[in-house]
Structure 1
Amino acid sequence: MARAAPVPPPEDDPHDATARFETLYRACYQDLLTFALRRCDRPEAAADVVADTFLVAWRRIDEIPAERARLWLFGVARNVLANHHRSVRRRADLAARLRQELAAAEVVQPEVPDDIGRAFRSLSEADRELLRLVAWEGLAADELAVVLDCSTNAARIRLHRARRRFAVALRQPSLTR
């Protein structure tokens, strides 16, 4: 649906940027959305393209030629779309590089005797994570507090309780012995 009609400035005040923008938005939104939907793989990406196009229009409202406003918006939308596609390609390239690096990464699980492993697995996930952060990652109580987003005192209390529950679990007789 090609429209060659220009988007005139509003009759009430041709110099009012807000009114001009609103008129432009109402006149061109659907056309730009359709344009973007045809060129994007996801509807939300198309919506972002249109939003960014109108953001540019708002910032440059005084530069938009009144007789060619719709065409000017299509030009901006093309540039926004090109930036969007470049961004998608960069993210895909980065994800591929990260996958390659992670494929080569070695994860060394600590060797743990069966009875200790059973006791550890019997704890809640929260207790296991606390103990892992301290034992495997080497965090001190004040660092643990930052990770848990709590006070240092609260982190120490949680750690103490997790250690106590672990000690109790270690004393439990195993059914497989």
Structure 2
Amino acid sequence: LQITVFTYTHSFCCSLILDILFCFPADARSLVSQARNEAAEFRKKWGYEMPVDVLAKWIADKAQIYTQHAYMRPLGVVAMVLGYDEEKNAQLFKCDPAGHFFGHKATSAGLKEQEAINFLEKKMKDSPQFSYDETVQIAISALQSVLQEDFKATEIEVGVVRKEDRVFRSLTTEEIDQHLTAISERD
């Protein structure tokens, strides 16, 4: 299995939709290709970018179809669809191979998924609003807690999208090191 990040749409005035896939790469490429086509057709038909929840529902419906027929292998993809639009602000949906999709404030997928979700729920219970730095540090802390190991900046990748620029980017090693230092000083 592999973790892959794809960008579906990017419109500076409307939305950015990312899909983080925990998957078999071939299934992911196929699903992303179809989803990009669906998003383009939606934009052509309606004149605006496809909302995040609509894309998540489309992905879940597509996955569910694969469970209905014996001759079709279910997709080996867990998709986290992240996006921002002017109407509903930031949104996060998780779509599973069975065709379920749910909105989340924070979630996890893969090995030790439930442990990570429990960690995030504890953090979110006290204060559901976090600054940018706090959000990145909580995500790294969740990974450290679940895997029970301290990381070096070169051992992990952190991707972010900010409301201001709406562009997905990976943090540099120096930025990750600053966050790791802040975490160790706090603990």
TM-score w.r.t. length of structure 1: 0.28
Instruction: Mark the structure with the bigger radius of gyration.
Output: 1
Structure ranking higher in helix proportion: 1
TM-score w.r.t. length of structure 2: 0.27
Structure ranking higher in strand proportion: 2
